[in-house]
Amino acid sequence: MIYTVTFSPAIDYIIHMDALTQGEINRSKRETCHFGGKGINVSVMLERLGVRNTAMGFISGFTGRALEESLWKAGIDTDFVYLEEGITRINIKIKTDQETEINTQGASISHEKLKELFLKLDALKEGDILIVSGSAPSTIPEGSYETMLDRLEGKGIRLVIDTTGPLLKKLLKYRPFLVKPNKKELEELEGSKIRSDQALEDRAGALQKQGARNVLVSLGAEGAYLLSEDTRAYRMQSHSVSVVNTVGAGDSMVAGFLAGYLKTGDYPFALRLGLAAGSATACSEGLASLEKIKHFMNPFDRLDLGR
Query: Which pairing describes strands 77-83 and 53-60: parallel, antiparallel, or unpaired?
Result: parallel
Query: Which pairing describes strands 10-16 and 77-83: parallel, antiparallel, or unpaired?
Result: unpaired
Q: Give the pLDDT confidence score for residue 306 in this predicted structure.
A: 64
Q: Give the pLDDT confidence score for residue 302 in this predicted structure.
A: 54
Q: Give the pLDDT confidence score for residue 286 in this predicted structure.
A: 85
Question: Within a 10 A sphere around the Cβ of 178, how many other Cβ atoms?
Answer: 25
Q: Give the pLDDT confidence score for residue 246 in this predicted structure.
A: 76
Q: Give the pLDDT confidence score for residue 240 in this predicted structure.
A: 76
Query: Which pairing describes strands 158-162 and 178-179: parallel, antiparallel, or unpaired?
Result: parallel
Distant-in-sequence, close-in-space partners of 200: CB < 8 Å, separation ≥ 6: 183, 186, 194, 217, 225
Q: Give the pLDDT confidence score for residue 298 in this predicted structure.
A: 72
pLDDT < 70: residue spans in the chain: 299-304, 306-307
Which amino acid is residue 22, in one-letter code?
Answer: Q
Residue 125's nearest CA partner among 9, 227, 1, 219 is 1
Does the annotation mark 251 as catalytic?
Answer: yes
Find out whether 275 and 253 touch, Cβ atoms under 8 Å: yes
Q: Give the pLDDT confidence score for residue 138 in this predicted structure.
A: 80
Tell me which DSSP letter residue 126 carries.
T
3-state secondary structure at position 250:
helix
Q: Own/partner pairs for 92-95, CB < 8 Å, 24+ apart?
A: 92/13, 92/15, 93/12, 93/13, 93/14, 93/15, 93/247, 94/15, 94/17, 94/20, 95/14, 95/15, 95/16, 95/17
Which amino acid is residue 257, in one-letter code?
Answer: F
**Model pLDDT for residues 194-216, shown as the tens digit of each residue:** 888 899 999 999 999 999 999 99
Query: Which pairing describes strands 2-6 and 53-60: parallel, antiparallel, or unpaired?
Result: parallel
Q: Which of 77, 97, 230, 251 is catalytic?
A: 251
Which amino acid is residue 150, in one-letter code?
Answer: D
Which amino acid is residue 234, in one-letter code?
Answer: Y
Q: Give the pLDDT confidence score for residue 300 in this predicted structure.
A: 55
Phi-psi map region of 248: left, alpha, beta (phi>0 left; psi -120 to 50 alpha): left
**Model pLDDT for residues 266-276, shown as the tens digit of each residue:** 999 999 999 99
Q: Give the pLDDT confidence score for residue 36 in this predicted structure.
A: 86
Q: Give the pLDDT confidence score for residue 178 in this predicted structure.
A: 97
CA dihedral 253, 255, 258, 260 (to 10 degrees): -80
Q: How far is CA 46 from CA 33, 94, 124, 264, in A?
A: 20, 28, 19, 15
